[in-house]
Structure 1
């Protein structure tokens, strides 16, 4: 089966944090840089990439936002909206829609629906998406994909594994640590991709800052 060699960038971190973001009412913005851009086990850039985004979260749990990143051959622009809640039991639930758009010829669009749940240290997610296909040959190469993720997080450490399905194949794992230093979020991570993806390991560093608007 075909593996999508290019996917969008934001949503592995996005999926893991949407429920917590939705609890913070109001507007916020963020800027960041990462030394080596990976998304879901697939390398997106071979050099550093900068990013910026803006979000709105309501007390009800509804949220909406936009995020953009440099992908060397143009920009990726992500538009998303969703709803997240935390039950009295401590279980968090989230449903969202994300559209990934590109300038230049980096890739064509991805549109997907995501569902996630978390409790304590653990989280699970499911994504169902549609890819528009290879730029210039969209009608012949468009297809559907799915992704199942399982994650754990504690004291700044996180680990996640993901497995693709439908018209895509592959597995990956990511281990990361993040902390706050001087008002900035600083992180380091290791991505390990299976043979159906990049079949490689990559160490990356990140620096970001969030603002209330």
Structure 2
């Protein structure tokens, strides 16, 4: 359930507007926890994640991403493996639009594939001298294979506090269209807050984040998540 497509991570973040990029790349990420909008997908334990991505100068991209998971519900699902494809549009020197579709699959248990689900997304970016702002939306019409619509809306802003050092603040809300089919802590929606510090050194990318939700469950309480990743171009 990687919402930054790689989160993340867990992420297919395109930077075509700033110059040409390699046609094929791979990112390996080690995180102290794999959180989906503030909810741990690994039982509050570490995660090893990897992606393989193709990006064209036209803005088209496609890729795949995988991570270990642990839902802790007495079943053996242990792998999430996603595929995605989309198109990035640089609308002008300040505005960008990223649209696409992802498909999330789960493995390790005989019932894991019943969790599989599709999701469409649209991400709007705005860059100024004061930083980069985002307004992002995700929608699934069969969330977690339960035939229920699910929505996520996010706003975020990133500022460079020093050369090579960035702070990102984000807020998102996840909503189920039918809480009888899917509920978050007994409710149809919850809020998630996150502040993260990002930097790079010697080819490695580092992320240190503090996050919390308004749910009262162990897998979604206040936490600090650290990750280190490296991207390889082919």
Normalising by structure 1, we get a TM-score of 0.85
Could you tell me which residue of structure 2 aligns to residue 43 of structure 1? 40
1:135-163 CA distance string (max 9 Å, x none):
xxx6xx43110011000011211111111
| Structure 1 residue corresponding to 2:195, chosen from 175, 178, 183 | 175
1:53 aligns with 2:51: yes
Alpha-carbon distance in 2 for matches of 1:185, 1:114: 25
CA shift in 2, pair 1:17/1:152, >3 Å = farther
Taking the aligned partners of 1:150 and 1:80, their CA distance within structure 2 comes to 22
Which of 63, 66, 69 does residue 64 from structure 2 map onto? 66
Aligned twin of 2:204: 184
- In the alignment, the residues of structure 2 paired with residue 157 and residue 16 of structure 1 have an alpha-carbon distance, to the nearest angstrom, of 17
Aligned residues: 200
Gaps of 5+ in 1: 1-7
> In the TM superposition, what is the alpha-carbon distance from 1:196 to its structure 2 partner?
7.0
Q: Is residue 200 from structure 1 mapped to residue 218 from structure 2 by the alignment?
A: no
CA contact under 8 A between 2:82 and 2:103: conserved in structure 1? yes
Is 1:19 matched up with 2:11? no
Unaligned runs of 5+ in 2: 71-76, 161-165, 179-187
Residue aligned with 2:189, SS: coil
- Give the 5 Å matches for 1:131-150: 131=142, 133=144, 141-150=146-155
* Residue of structure 2 equivalent to 1:162: 172
What is the alpha-carbon root mean square deviation over aligned residues? 2.3
Higher relative contact order (CA 8 A, sep 6+): 1
Residue 190 (structure 1) shift:
1.0
Q: For 2:81 and 2:46, locate their aligned partners in 1 and report how far apart those are by CA, in whole Å.
A: 17
Which residue matches 2:28? 31
